[in-house]
Structure 1
Amino acid sequence: MIRRLYEADRERLMALTGHNPSINLFIIGDVENFGFEQEFMELWGESDTPDGPLKAVMLRFYSSYLTYAEGDFDTEGFAELIRKDTGAEMISGDAGVVQAFRGKIAAREEKQMLFAELKEMNGPLRFAAAVPLVIRKATAHDVEAICTLTDQIEEFAASTEDSRKSLRKALESKTGRTFFAEQDGKVIASASTTAENSLSAMIVGVATHPQHRGQGLATRITAELCADLLAEGKSLCLFYNNPQAGQIYKKLGFTDIGTWAMMYLEKQR
C-alpha cells in the first residue's frame, strides 16, 4: 500500500529514515525545514497496513525524486508515480534502491559515487608543521571572502553568483556551516556542510587555494568542522569518487557505507 504522507505521518517517517540518518539526510532535512504541505515537495510511503510502520518512502523535491527502502518494496507502484510526472528529471538514493527502477522508467544516464559516514573521529590527528593559521567559523559577513577563494578553483567556479547566494542562505538559515583558514587577511582554505538537520549533515565544498596545497590545510579545516558537528551529536556524510580525496576523509575516520546513485531520466513527451 502506497499513499501520500502528511504531518500526521511524521513519526512513522522519522522512525524509518532514522535507521540510517546519513543516507536519509536530505529527506530528514527537507521535512524538518519545509514540513509536508509544500507545492514543490511531496512524500509517499509504503506500508503493509494503513497505519503500520513504513517500509519505503519517496520524496519529490521540485523535479527530483529520492527513494529509500528497507528490503523489498513496491518498485512498480513508486515508478508509476514518477511516470505520471512529465517534468521528472532524476531519481537518487542508495544504489541498491535506485537500481530497482531500472527498466521501469526510461533513463538516459546513471552515475554513482561512494558514500562515506563519520560518527567518531580518529585521533589524535597529527599535522605537519606549517605557517601560522587562523581557523574561524564563518558568518554571513565572510561570504564574499570565502567565495573569492572558490572563484579561483575550477571545480567550484561554474556559477559564482549562485555560490554566494547559496552560501549566504545556508549560513543564515543554519542549514549549513563553513570553517575557513586565513593567511595575511585572505581565505586560503575552507570546508562546509549542507543539508544539516537534527541528526546529520553533509560535508561539501572542501577547497584549498592552489598556492597552498600539499600542507594538509583541507584535512585540518575539515577536522575542525567535523568536531564541531560531532559535539552536537550529529553524524556526518559525504560523496566522493576521487581516491585522493577518499584518503583524506578516511584519515579523519570516515568509512564507506555504500554507493549513492543518480539516475537521470529521459524527458517524457
Structure 2
Amino acid sequence: MIIQCKDEDIETVFDYIGEDYGKCLYIFIDLKKFGLDDENFDVWIQYSEEGSICAIISEYFGGIQIYSREENLLLEEIADFIKEKDTHVLFAIKPIIDRLKPFLPGYEQETGTVGELMELKYPPNPKAYSAPMEELAEIVRIVADDEGIGKPYGYDSLYEQYTQRKEENFGRNFVLRDEESNDIICHAGTYAELPELAVIGGVITAPAYRGKGFSKETLSSLCEDLLNENKRIFSFFYIPSAEHMHYGVGFEKIEDWSKLFKD
C-alpha cells in the first residue's frame, strides 16, 4: 500500500532514514528544504500488509527517487506507481534499480557511484577561493560548455540554478584562476547544502589545464571549507576520471547508484 505523506508523517520518514541518508540524498535534502509545502515535491510511504514501512518514494519536478532501508520494497506495486505517473527518470541504489528494471520495459539504465569524503587526503590549493555572486556568469559559461556536465541544461537554466542556490545559501562555488591571464582554471561547487551535509557538483577543469591535478586541488579546497563547518560531504560520479579524482581526494564508495530513464 502506497500512501501520500502529510505533515504529520515527516518525522516518520526521517526516523526511517536515520543516518542512512547517503543512499537517498535527494529525498532527505528536498524534504528538509521544502517540507511538503512545495507544489513540485511530494513524498509517499509504501507499507507492507503487516503495516511496516517497505520504502519511501519522492517526486520532484517529475523525477522519482526510491529508498528502502532493508531493500524489501514491494516491486510490482512500485512499478505500477511509476507507470501510472509515466515517470521519465528515477533514481535509487543499484540493487533496487536492478530489481525494478524487469518490471519497467522501455527504460535505459545508467550506473555510477555515490561516495562520501572520509578523510581529506589531497592538499588544498590555498589560491582557490569561494566565488562571489558577480563571478557566477563566468563560471556558468565554463560549465555550460561541457558536454557531460552542463551542456544539456543550457546556459540560461544553469545560471538560474546557480544564482538561486547562492541566494538561498544552498550552494557555493570554488574557483582557481590562472595567475597570468586570470582565467578560471577549475571550478568545484555544491549542488545542495544543509547544516549537516553537502553534495558536490560541477567539478570541471578548463580543457587547456587538464591532467595537472587542478581538479583535485580545487575540490580539496572546497571540501576543507565544508569540513570546517562540520558537514558530511557526498558526491555522485559516473565516469572513471571522476572516480579517480574523488578517490584521490579521499572519498570512499557508499554504494553503486543507478538511474532508469526513457525519452
Q: TM-score, normalised by structure 2?
A: 0.87
* Alpha-carbon distance, 1:213 to partner: 2.3
Alignment CA distance shift 1:217-1:100 (3 Å):
same
8 Å Cα contact 1:189-1:207 kept in structure 2: yes
Q: What SS does the aligned partner of 2:129 have? A: strand
For 2:61 and 2:123, the matched residues in 1 are separated by 44
Q: Does 1:168 align with 2:163?
A: yes
Q: Secondary structure at the match of 1:103?
A: helix
Deviation at 1:27, TM superposition (A): 0.7
Q: 1:63 to 1:135 in 2, by over 3 A?
A: same
CA contact (8 A) 1:178 1:190 kept: yes
Per-residue CA shift, 1:125-177, capped at 9, x if unaligned?
A: 358xxxx9732112221111212433554433441222212211111112211
Q: Which amino acid aligns with 1:146?
A: I
- Give the distance between the partners of 2:40 and 2:250, measured in 1 at CA: 36
Residues 25 and 195, structure 1, Cα contact 8 Å, conserved in 2? no
Backbone CA RMSD of aligned residues: 2.4
State whether residues 97 and 259 of structure 2, in contact with CA within 8 Å, keep that contact through their aligned partners in structure 1: yes
The match for 1:243 is 240
Q: Which runs of 5+ in 1 are unaligned?
A: none
Q: Which residue of 2 aligns with 1:11?
A: 11
Tell me if the contact between 1:151 and 1:157 (Cα under 8 Å) persists in the aligned partners.
Answer: yes
Matched, 1:29 2:26: no
Paired letter, 1:167: Y
Contact 2:22 2:114 in 1 (8 A): no
Judged with a 3 Å threshold, the aligned counterparts in structure 2 of structure 1 residues 200 and 25 are, in CA distance, closer, same or farther, namely farther
Q: CA deviation at 1:108?
A: 2.8
Equivalent in the alignment of 1:118 = 117
CA contact (8 A) 1:4 1:45 kept: yes
Distance change >3 Å, CA 3–CA 220, structure 1 → 2: same
CA drift at 1:264: 1.6
Identity within the alignment, %: 22
Distance 2:17 2:131 in 1: 30
Deviations 1:108-137, CA, capped at 9 Å, x for gaps: 311111222213323xx358xxxx973211
> Counterpart of 1:142 in structure 2: which amino acid?
E
1:106 Cα shift?
3.1
Q: Secondary structure at the match of 2:33?
A: helix
Is contact 1:153-1:209 (8 Å) kept?
no
The answer as to 2:59 corresponding to 1:66 is no
Q: Where in structure 2 are the equivalents of 1:101-116 lying within 5 Å? A: 101-116=100-115
Deviates more, 1:36-45 or 1:7-16: 36-45
Of 123, 142, 145, the match for 1:149: 142
- Letter of the 2:98 counterpart: Q
Question: 2:84, 2:244 → 1: CA distance?
Answer: 43
Q: Equivalent residue for 2:210?
A: 213
Q: State the SS of the aligned residue for 1:84.
A: helix
Is 1:224–2:188 an aligned residue pair? Answer: no
